[in-house]
């Protein structure tokens, strides 16, 4: 197995001020987890390239791109919702999309078995016309759109593990059935929307606060996997939010590290059967650093087939 980790130093320089939960400490925690768990010995580290505006325009309008690009220097500019930016955020956001696209090329070309993108800023809330919810550019959406529109795959699928609904991903692919979406999300929390218009190529399942790993495993087995089999994707993307962990301060679900490992293994096994093993994981939320540390180890060890 060859599992790569994509990252760029700019991703750590993006920060939103004060004690914002989506902080650079999250990225440092993930790299400490790789080192202390022994994953360092098996992972291939790659610097994320810079995406072009053309790459981003496949999923976002130009006005949104311009707002992110035109952040005053120095200082912060809270341009929408809960997404302040500093003057490194534009460059960091270009690298998050670049990471996802580079991973897509490497996995489709058979150069890598799979990849994990350490992305900051995160992206799954960002809609076609606006960023929101700590997110800037929707890198998982940009990658999936690239896979089907540029690389010629007939179908890709995005599986979202975050406690919050990936409303941006749903928005971008609402009328694009070549990209399927499956998720669970905690109901009645941010972004206070999800699945208002059921679509045949999407299976987004709201669950109540307190939902634990046993319930999620049942959803994966009885609903996600049959749905994905019917969609026939050629590549699986994972929006890897770890804020459904029972210790996360923002979410209210009850998953633990072993649940993330189990879900990842199910998706890996599915990809082996149906997608030539192609899996690309892109980091999203997760705000308790201890829970993030353990969850990312469990997830990436499963990607690398270390357990």
Instruction: Give me the catalytic one of 125, 165, 201, 299.
Output: 125
Work out the pLDDT band at 198, boundaries 50, 70, 90.
Answer: confident
Q: Across the chain, what does the average pLDDT equal?
A: 94
| Overall number of domains in the chain | 1
Residue 27 in 3-state DSSP? helix
Lowest-confidence segment of 21-30, 82-91, 205-214, 259-268 by average pLDDT: 82-91
Q: For residue 304, give the nearest of 275, 276, 277 by alpha carbon.
A: 277
Give the residue-averaged pLDDT of 267-286.
Answer: 98
Q: Which domain holds residue 35?
A: 3-303
Looking at the DSSP bridge assignments, the partners of residue 142 are none
| Percentage of the residues of the chain whose pLDDT score is greater than 70 | 96
Work out the pLDDT band at 105, boundaries 50, 70, 90.
Answer: very high
pLDDT tens profile 49-94: 999 999 999 999 999 998 888 766 656 665 656 688 888 899 999 9
Known catalytic residue at 125:
yes
pTM for the whole structure: 0.96
Up-side HSE of residue 11: CA atoms within 13 Å toward CB?
Answer: 29
Tell me what pLDDT residue 16 has: 85
Tell me what pLDDT residue 81 has: 61
CATH number at residue 299: 3.40.800.20
pLDDT tens profile 141-197: 999 999 999 999 999 999 999 999 999 999 999 999 999 999 999 999 999 988 777
What DSSP string describes 221-280?
Answer: IIIIHHHHHHH--SSEEEEE--TTBTT-SS---BB-HHHHHHHHHHHHHHHHHHSTT-EE
């Amino acid at each position: 197995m060859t599992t790569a980790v994509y990252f760029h130093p700019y991703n750590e320089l993006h920060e939103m001020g004060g004690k914002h939960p989506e902080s650079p400490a999250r990225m440092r925690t993930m790299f400490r987890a790789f080192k202390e768990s022994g994953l360092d010995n098996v992972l291939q580290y790659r610097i994320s390239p810079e995406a072009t505006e053309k790459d981003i325009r496949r999923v976002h309008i130009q006005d949104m791109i311009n707002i992110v690009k035109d952040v005053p220097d120095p200082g912060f500019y809270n341009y929408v919702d809960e997404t302040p930016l500093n003057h490194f955020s534009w460059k960091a956001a270009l690298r998050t999309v670049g990471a996802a696209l580079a991973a897509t090329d490497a996995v489709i070309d058979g150069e890598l078995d799979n990849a994990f993108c350490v992305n900051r800023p995160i992206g799954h809330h960002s809609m076609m016309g606006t960023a929101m919810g700590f997110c800037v550019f929707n890198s998982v959406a940009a990658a999936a759109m690239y896979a089907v529109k540029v690389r010629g795959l007939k179908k890709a699928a995005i599986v979202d593990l975050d406690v919050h609904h990936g409303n941006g991903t749903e928005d971008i692919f609402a009328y694009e059935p070549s990209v399927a979406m499956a998720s669970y999300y905690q109901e009645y929390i941010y972004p206070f929307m999800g699945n208002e218009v059921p679509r045949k190529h999407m299976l987004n399942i709201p669950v109540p606060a307190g939902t634990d790993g046993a319930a999620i495993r049942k959803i994966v087995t009885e609903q996600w996997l049959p749905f994905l089999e019917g969609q026939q994707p050629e590549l699986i993307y994972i929006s890897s939010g770890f804020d459904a962990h029972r210790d996360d301060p923002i979410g209210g679900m009850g998953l633990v590290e072993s649940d993330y490992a189990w879900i990842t293994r199910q998706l890996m096994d599915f990809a082996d059967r149906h997608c030539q093993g192609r899996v690309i994981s892109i980091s999203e939320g997760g705000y308790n650093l201890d829970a993030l540390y353990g969850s990312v180890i469990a997830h990436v060890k499963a990607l690398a087939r270390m357990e």
